[in-house]
Amino acid sequence: MSLDDTINTSVSSSDFSLLEGLYQLAITGHTDEWEFERLNNAVYERLLSYYASAEGATRTAGLSSLGGQ
């Protein structure tokens, strides 16, 4: 599976919208506004959630390859 396939299957359009909104606010210099803070927090929470679930899946896969130990 290519990187593009992985991105397309694991990232929803709302994730892209959040990142696009955050990016637009950042490039226009509106980083002190409540909307930037809200989007930044939402993106951060999703990243934490994604990496926590990915780490758990990696550990589970690792244990499976070791015979379930």
What does the domain layout of the chain look like in residue ranges?
13-65
pLDDT value at residue 54: 78
Record the tokens describing residue 42, joined without a space: 């939402």
For residues 17 and 57, the model is more confident at 17
DSSP state, residue 32: T
User: Is pLDDT of 27 > 90?
Assistant: yes
18 touches 39 (CB < 8 A):
yes
Residue 22 CB neighbours (<10 A)? 19
**pTM score, two decimals?**
0.61
Residues in the chain: 69
Other CB atoms within a 10 A radius of the CB of residue 20 amount to: 11
